[in-house]
C-alpha cells in the first residue's frame, strides 16, 4: 500500500520537482558552512552595495555581507523554526484533538471553542500578539508559530478521531476490554496519520511564511542573525541601490513555501486517490 502511494506520488512531476527543491534547501541548510563562500556576519565594507559578481553571486548588503552566504545560513533558521514549530504544533494539536474526540461533551466543547477563537484570528496577527507577550527571539518565534499551528491540527485529528471512534472495530476492541489509551494509540492514531502527514507538509510552508513575516516586522529573529524575513526587511531599504538584496530572500521564501504547498498537494493526491478522481 505504501509503495502504491509512492508510485502515484512519483507520477506527479510537479510534486517531485518541488520535493527536490525542498531537499536542496535542506542540504543548503545542513552544509551551510561548507557551501557558503563567506561567513554570515563577515563584512567587506569595501565591497558594500555590490551587485552580482563572481565573488558575490548575489551581491552584498550595506555592510558588505555576502547575500548568498546569508541565504544559506538563513535557510537553517527558517527551516529550523518551521520544522520545530510544526512538530510541536502536531504533537500538542493531536493530543488536544484526541482528548476532545475521546471524552466528548464539555471537554470537547471547551477545547474546540478555544481552538475556534484562535482560528478566527489571522495567523500573522496571532503571531504578533504572542511575540508581543513573550518577547522576540528565535525560541519565542518557534513558540508563536507552534501555537499558531495547534488549532489546525487539533481540528484535523479530532475530526478523523471522531470518525474512527465510531467504527465497528473500535467497538470490537472495547468489547475485548481494551483500555481507552490502547484504543487511541492502536486504532485512532494510525488512522489519522495520512491527513496529518499531508497537513504537516502544508503547514511547514505556512510556518515559514509566518516566521519570516514576524522577522520582517522586526518581531521575530533579530539582526544580525541571518533570517530571510529580516533580510527582506533590510533589503527593502536597499531596493534602489542593490535590488538583489531584497529580491533574493523574497524568492527564497516564495520558492520554499510554494514547494511545500505543492508537495503537500501531491502527497494528498497520492495517499488519498479517492479525493482526486471525485
Partner 1 sequence: MTKPLLEIQGLTASLATDTGTIYPVSDVSLHIDAGETLAVVGESGSGKSMLAFSIMRLLPRSARFEGGRIVWKDRDLLQTDAESLRRIRGNEIALVFQEAGSALNPVRTVGSQLMEPLRTHLGLSKKDARDRAVELLREVQIPDPETRVSNYPHEMSGGMKQRVLIAMAIACDPELVIADEPTTALDATLQAHILELLGRLKENRNLSLILITHDLSLVKDNADRVAVMYAGRLVEVGPSERILSSPGHPYTAGLWESLPKPRGSEPGKSKLHAMTGTVPHLSHLPPGCAFGDRCPERFDPCDQDVPTLQNVNGDPAHRTACYMNAAALDATTTSV
Binding site for partner 1 (CB under 8 A): 104, 167-169, 171-179, 182, 186-187, 190-191
The minimum distance between CB 186 and partner 1, in angstroms, equals: 7
Q: For residue 180, list its beta bridge partners.
A: none
Question: 172 or 258: whose CB is closer to partner 1?
Answer: 172
Q: Please identify which residue in the block is written with the cell numbers 488512522.
A: 191
Which among 262, 267, 269, 253 has a CA at the least distance from the CA of 207? Answer: 253
The minimum distance between CB 89 and partner 1, in angstroms, equals: 24
CA distances from residue 213 to 66, 171, 216 in whole angstroms, order as listed: 22, 46, 5
Q: What is the DSSP letter of 136?
A: S
Say how many C-beta atoms besides its own lie within 10 A of residue 193's C-beta.
11
The minimum distance between CB 190 and partner 1, in angstroms, equals: 5
Question: 113 or 182: whose CB is closer to partner 1?
Answer: 182
The minimum distance between CB 179 and partner 1, in angstroms, equals: 6
- Residues 76 and 209: their CA atoms lie apart, in Å, by 15
Question: 173 or 222: whose CB is closer to partner 1?
Answer: 173
Question: 39 or 186: whose CB is closer to partner 1?
Answer: 186
Question: 139 or 167: whose CB is closer to partner 1?
Answer: 167
**What's the first-to-final CA gap in the chain, in angstroms?**
20
The minimum distance between CB 31 and partner 1, in angstroms, equals: 38
Cell numbers found for residue 277 = 478522481
The minimum distance between CB 164 and partner 1, in angstroms, equals: 9
Three-state DSSP state, 27: helix
The minimum distance between CB 114 and partner 1, in angstroms, equals: 22
Question: 4 or 237: whose CB is closer to partner 1?
Answer: 4
Q: For residue 60, list its beta bridge partners.
A: 66
The DSSP line for 31-88 is: THHHH-SS-TT---GGGTT--S-SSSTT-B-TT--BHHHHHHHHHHHHHHHHHHHHHH
The minimum distance between CB 197 and partner 1, in angstroms, equals: 14
Question: 104 or 218: whose CB is closer to partner 1?
Answer: 104
Question: 16 or 189: whose CB is closer to partner 1?
Answer: 189
- Residues 224 and 242: their CA atoms lie apart, in Å, by 19
Backbone angles phi, psi at 66, to 5 degrees: -75, 120
Cell numbers found for residue 97 = 484533538
Amino acid at each position: 500500500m505504501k509503495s502504491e502511494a509512492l508510485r502515484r506520488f512519483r507520477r506527479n512531476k510537479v510534486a517531485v520537482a518541488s520535493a527536490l527543491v525542498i531537499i536542496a534547501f535542506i542540504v543548503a541548510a545542513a552544509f551551510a558552512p561548507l557551501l557558503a563562500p563567506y561567513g554570515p556576519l563577515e563584512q567587506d565594507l569595501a565591497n558594500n552595495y555590490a551587485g552580482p559578481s563572481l565573488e558575490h553571486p548575489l551581491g552584498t548588503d550595506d555592510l558588505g555581507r555576502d547575500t548568498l552566504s546569508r541565504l544559506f545560513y538563513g535557510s537553517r533558521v527558517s527551516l529550523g523554526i518551521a520544522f520545530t514549530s510544526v512538530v510541536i504544533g502536531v504533537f500538542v494539536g493531536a493530543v488536544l484533538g484526541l482528548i476532545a474526540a475521546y471524552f466528548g461533551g464539555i471537554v470537547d466543547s471547551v477545547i474546540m471553542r478555544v481552538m475556534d477563537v484562535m482560528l478566527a484570528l489571522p495567523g500573522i496577527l496571532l503571531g504578533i500578539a504572542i511575540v508581543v507577550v513573550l518577547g522576540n527571539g528565535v525560541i519565542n518565534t518557534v513558540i508563536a508559530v507552534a501555537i499558531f499551528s495547534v488549532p489546525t491540527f487539533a481540528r484535523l485529528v479530532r475530526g478523523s478521531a471522531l470518525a474512527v471512534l465510531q467504527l465497528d472495530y473500535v467497538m470490537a476492541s472495547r468489547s475485548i476490554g481494551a483500555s481507552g489509551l490502547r484504543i487511541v494509540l492502536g486504532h485512532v492514531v494510525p488512522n489519522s496519520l495520512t491527513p496529518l502527514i499531508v497537513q504537516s507538509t502544508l503547514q511547514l510552508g505556512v510556518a515559514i511564511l509566518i516566521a519570516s513575516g514576524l522577522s520582517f516586522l522586526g518581531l521575530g529573529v533579530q539582526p544580525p542573525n541571518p533570517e530571510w524575513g529580516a533580510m527582506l526587511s533590510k533589503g527593502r531599504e536597499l531596493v534602489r541601490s542593490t535590488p538583489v538584496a531584497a529580491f533574493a530572500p523574497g524568492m527564497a521564501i516564495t520558492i520554499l513555501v510554494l514547494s511545500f504547498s505543492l508537495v503537500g498537494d501531491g502527497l494528498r493526491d497520492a495517499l488519498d486517490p479517492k479525493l482526486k478522481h471525485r
